[in-house]
Structure 1
């Protein structure tokens, strides 16, 4: 049977606007308002999950979702770079940033490599399509990096394809299929239903 997994990227916050690593700061006013406005556009589903970041949990709440926190949906662990801006890290550690961008196994920040992120996300995704979950439906609010990693894993793309995938705030990416064979619907905006 087919498993449906719908991933919603969280709403905007100041850290995302500033291109900071590990942007787990609260949603900004605009992000909160857009998430509340989009609540009616969220598809109905079975189990509702949220990544553990405050940004994911706050987005789920603003969307009106009673989501269970799922640790496997944690954002990309960038350890020493957490909270810093990309331009700041690139100026201070140009070789580290070059390695991070050019080698999926590199982890110059001391956290997870890109390969580790894709493997962790893929293991979670494939666990949903196992024999114990036939015909199941899941919706999860997950950081953009987790959504990108799920697409890379689901389509069996080269890990480097991660850098070519853009996931805008408050978009829905759907995966359907089962472990080892996934189809992907990318980046549908969560827009409020028409008035009237």
Structure 2
């Protein structure tokens, strides 16, 4: 017949294993949830989430649990006292990680919504002024053509109601989500303004200017 202490030990061990699995899951996949632009890839998350910090935290909690287990607690044996304390401390750590993840997720979602609303407002204003702006970050551009050629290229784009702007090399995930909203809003307008296939036509006109410049 299985003793009561052994049943308690098995129960505490099972609970502790479940809590540890949840901790590792939240810690690893939480990295992906806070970086929505990164594709879902467990091994990439595992490499980038700095797992050693979690392992150090769990080892510290194990040390604290062992120290507390030396105290007398409800006639439990040292093993069960350790499992009980470690389970409680790991549960608190799990709650902490969950709170941090949920809080950061909510803050990020609010920031994305704010960015989308700002870009939506800007898109409507740009459509009204027939002056749509595409923003892209490629760092500092090295000039390939002379100033006159760049002006001609800008004029071609202007004929299609758009212009390009390079805000710099900094990539902001929240800003990227806002830009997606902007693009989604102005796309039907440009299609209606310039007709189907306008991107290819504009591209061909620009390529002709570039070929002329390269042959000069």
Answer whether TM exceeds 0.5 for this pair.
Answer: no
Query: Which structure has greater helix proportion?
Result: 2
Greater Rg by CA: 2
**TM-score, structure 2 normalization:** 0.21
Query: Which structure has greater strand proportion?
Result: 1
- Between the two structures, name the one with larger relative contact order (CA 8 Å, sep ≥ 6): 1
**TM-score, structure 1 normalization:** 0.22
